[in-house]
Structure 1
Amino acid sequence: MFIKSENNELIKKIKKLKDKKERYEEGLFFVEGTTNVLEALNSNFEIEYIVMSESFKEDIPFKKDKIVHTTDSVFKKISDTVTPQMIMAVIKIPEYDENIYIKENGIYVIADNVQDPGNLGTIIRSADAFGATAVFTINNSVDVFNPKVLRATMGSIFHIPVIPTSKEVVLKLKAKGIKVFATHLRAKKLVHQCNIDDKVAFVLGNESKGVSIEDLVDDFVKIPMTGEAESLNVSIAAAIFLYESQRQRLIKQE
């Protein structure tokens, strides 16, 4: 199929996927760029079709009848980037059962009203890099399948379950013996002084308001800082938490 007009029904459908309401009504999202498309192809996600422009020349190992070709100008109309790589995959939104991932051990990340797409995407990428079990988003966090979030994950969205849910997930984790941590500037304990190698969940709060579920947190810790900065970006704090958890696991294996 070769599409020359942005008025084509399929093109109009893809354009709408930039909107959260439309994504969930259609049950679809898209990722752009060769790396993300190849990551999607190597995952268990169900790909509806791949769209590429006439100037895209790489060979993509996918069913020929599911590859849609467009002019460069039409592709730019559906792209969410300023300088598109001229390829995207349209993918079914996965239906995760959160209860499958809530176990008596594991490393969990809970994004609590995290609004910035880049921050959430980077948190997901760090969770993937440091071996977390799952990421949960609660309290109006930015949509997981927002194109900007997906770009910031750099393909990690296909490696780790990221599940939009409610704060009840914290109670489910605690019922399994998972200890819930969050940062607080007035905390007495430093992150490296706590046993966080396993059976832990890290709550990461809103960029300006912090954690909204303090009553559900088991322990508050802080990250030692010797400079003048008052706080860290939420995605940086997440990476430090997750790295420290992995560091403790590696020490136990020695």
Structure 2
Amino acid sequence: MARTLRISTRNATFQQWQALLTNRTKRQRAGEFLVQGVRPISLAVERGWEIRAMLVTDGPGLSRWGRDIVDTADAPRAVVAAELMRELGGKDEDAPELLAVVAMPGDDLARVATGPSLLAVVFDRPTTPGNVGTLIRSADAFGAAAVIVTGHAADPYDPKAVRASTGSLFALPVIRVPSHAEVLDWVAEVRDDGVAVQVVGTDERGPVEIAEQDLTGPTLLVIGNETHGLSNAWRDSCDQTVRIPITGAASSLNAAAAGSVALYEAARQRRLA
């Protein structure tokens, strides 16, 4: 049976959990992050992620969902004072019933399932955690095998990114990679294994409309930074660069929105193929 702690003051343990919400360096050093919300916690448990601690609000008994999650996770438990749970859960009023401390998986491109139907997306140097989470959610919805985040980028384990993914972070590999070079080395290995993956960048000045590009084969979609778009290194590395036609007063699409449109177009083509 999992052991139970009691936390009623802002002691060292509470401060460690609080740091997981606000301090990227401490998240990385600990190799864990704090998960808020019913759906994200449920998916983390259902998908077999390592639950390092389950935090339970001190008060009335757990709901049926809460009991099921705690029993299934079988992780060390901490009963935490309601006011402290409100701080950790970002709630101004009601304390969350449960929070979970979850281990980060390794950033290994070998986690990406490759094959003739490969569809994965690269988000290069995103600056906004919410955009990272939104693109992860879209990648999950449209059948992508993975999201690869490259360069100096927002953290997919930031609580804003985790919330924006609405649990999809736990449904597909999300891999952080230092630069485009490591991704291109992986692409070369995939090609050597007989999978003719194409690298397709998105850019408002791309020479080909996205609907005209065949996305039914193995494809790596590359989405650029919110402000500067694709880096020169990625532009030079793409087999093709496509544009999403837009009208109206908008000068461009939000990066996560553009990625979502590109993923939808790939899924649409694949349904019709």
TM-score by length of 1: 0.92
Q: 3-state DSSP class of the match of 2:169?
A: helix
Q: Give, in whole Å, the separation in 1 of the partners of 2:188 and 2:79.
A: 49
Could you give the per-residue CA deviations for residues 177-219 of structure 1, whole angstroms, max 9, x where no partner exists?
Answer: 3111112222221101110123111111111111112111111
What is the 5 A alignment of 1:50-129? 50-55=54-59, 57-58=62-63, 59-61=66-68, 62-63=70-71, 66-80=76-90, 82=92, 85-101=96-112, 103-105=114-116, 106-129=118-141
- CA separation of 1:65/1:154 partners in 2, compared to 1, >3 Å: closer, same or farther? closer
- CA separation of 1:82/1:204 partners in 2, compared to 1, >3 Å: closer, same or farther? farther
Q: Does 1:145 align with 2:157?
A: yes
1:204 maps to which of 220, 223, 227: 223
Q: 3-state DSSP class of the match of 1:108?
A: strand
Could you give the per-residue CA deviations for residues 43-73 of structure 1, whole angstroms, max 9, x where no partner exists?
Answer: 1210011112125632332247722111111
Is the contact between residue 37 and residue 89 of structure 1 (CA under 8 Å) also seen in structure 2?
yes
The aligned residue for residue 246 of structure 1 is 267
Unmatched tracts of structure 2, length 5 or more: none
Q: CA RMSD in A?
A: 1.9
For 1:75, the aligned partner's letter is M
Could you give the per-residue CA deviations for residues 89-118 of structure 1, whole angstroms, max 9, x where no partner exists?
Answer: 001111253134263430010010011111
2:26 maps to which of 10, 22, 47: 22
Q: Structure 1 residue 174: deviation in Å?
A: 4.7
Q: Does 1:224 align with 2:245?
A: yes
Q: Structure 1 residue 138: deviation in Å?
A: 0.5
1:191 maps to which of 201, 210, 223: 210
Q: % of aligned pairs identical?
A: 29
Q: Give, in whole Å, the separation in 2 of the partners of 1:3 and 1:173.
A: 48
- CA separation of 1:190/1:79 partners in 2, compared to 1, >3 Å: closer, same or farther? same
Is the contact between residue 54 and residue 76 of structure 2 (CA under 8 Å) also seen in structure 1?
yes
- CA separation of 1:109/1:6 partners in 2, compared to 1, >3 Å: closer, same or farther? same
Could you give the per-residue CA deviations for residues 4-49 of structure 1, whole angstroms, max 9, x where no partner exists?
Answer: 1112x32121112121111111111111012211111101210011
Q: Structure 1 residue 161: deviation in Å?
A: 0.1
Is the contact between residue 31 and residue 147 of structure 1 (CA under 8 Å) also seen in structure 2?
yes
State how many pairs are aligned: 251
TM-score by length of 2: 0.86
Could you give the per-residue CA deviations for residues 155-194 of structure 1, whole angstroms, max 9, x where no partner exists?
Answer: 0011000000131213422552311111222222110111
Is the contact between residue 51 and residue 68 of structure 1 (CA under 8 Å) also seen in structure 2?
yes
Is the contact between residue 54 and residue 69 of structure 1 (CA under 8 Å) also seen in structure 2?
yes
